[in-house]
Amino acid sequence: MTSHFKTAFIHSDKFEQYELGPNHPFKPIRSKLVYDLCNKHGLLDHPWIRVEEPIELDVTTLAAFHDMLYLNNLRKANGGEFEPGMIVFNIGTGECPVFKGVYDYAKLAAGASYRGMLSILQDGARIAFSPTGGYHHAGRRHAEGFCYINDIGIVIDVLLARGRHVAYIDIDAHHSNGIQDAFYTDPRVLKISLHESGKTLYPWGGFETETGAGEGTGFNVNVPLPPYTDDEHYLKAFDNIVPPLVGAFEPDFIVAVIGIDTVAADPLTHLNLKNNGFCDAIARIKALGKPILALGGGGYNLDSLARSWTLAWAVMNDIEPEDEHVGTIGGMLLGQQDIPGGSLRDMRQFASGPQKKEIESEIKRVVDYLKRTVFPVHAL
């Protein structure tokens, strides 16, 4: 067991007080589910691990990334009342509804990511994880895709101001369009997003041809994946792209969005990973050897989310949890699908036949394109 580095788990009981709506797929209680399951497995009890509360972000900090007029409208929505002028900023839509405390929640979630960053920059942590983070769709002046405040953009701007070069690695099933848009021309941020193809999934973009502009050309890397991509093909794409580019870029800091909506059990996406492949990707990010701020991102099957992010936290800390401790968390039986014996891990399953050949062919096409166009920029 290694204990030479510190890790920080960022959590607040306040998150569970908020709800976007009874039928909205995004559930703020996710942080509590992961925290409780980590606790049940003893994954927060080691001497090198700290559990930390989010910090309160003031409007000046938020305005370093976001437009002030947008923030003012989001603050108006905090009481839970919609005003017609908000719709210009996509506040009050089905995806980004007005709810009581919307500004407080978004600010708290961003404060969790900020706290994680400070744990690394100031307190000596090697890895920090906030399950309530990774709002990669929010724009500088609009809400989008369940995201109101772009915590990632705020953190990256701070890191850049402090002279750090940042590798941003996003393994969420949805393309990180908010981060791509914000840093498309910036060569100080290497942006790599592995996601389901925009041909079949929101936000309908993130194609391999979107490689950056101006000085940032070659620093925006999209790996769109065909539906039903499984662990084997996902990891092959990851290994071909991420380690070589990050190795050549030599970042000071990694920001990773580790959405778990890539798994077959997720109701909003069409990929076919199991959490074994997901955990293998987490291990590969950790093996890159840089300080890591890991942020939750998407995940809309709460059962799978809690198990998978608990496993991810175990991987980050070089711990193998004892599966026999699995039980009922938050009134929900964890382990209802594909988990004989109550294991945290999914059963392994792989594509075969014609489907496998189609997936292989499409991923090879994307990887070959990136090796022809992006790799030379990095002398690869």
- Cα 71 to Cα 231: distance, rounded to the nearest angstrom: 40
Q: Is 11 a catalytic residue?
A: no
Task: Return the structure tokens found at 265.
Answer: 């059990």
DSSP string for 225-291: E-TT--HHHHHHHHHHHHHHHHHHH--SEEEEE---TTBTT-SS----B-HHHHHHHHHHHHHT-S-
Burial letters 254-270, b for 16+ CB under 10 A, else e: bbbbbbbbbbbbbebbb
Q: How many residues does the chain have?
A: 380
**What is the distance in angstroms between the CA of the first residue and the CA of the last residue of the chain?**
35
Give the side-chain half-sphere CA count within 13 A for 278: 35
Task: Return the structure tokens found at 308.
Answer: 């998978």
- Cα 82 to Cα 84: distance, rounded to the nearest angstrom: 7
Closest CA to 29 of 43, 51, 13, 40: 13
Residue of 137, 175, 195, 233 with catalytic role: 175
* 187: preceding bond cis by omega (within 30 degrees): no
Burial letters 27-37, b for 16+ CB under 10 A, else e: bbbbbbbbbbb
Cβ burial of 82 (10 Å; 0-12, 13-18, 19+) is middle
Active-site positions read: 175
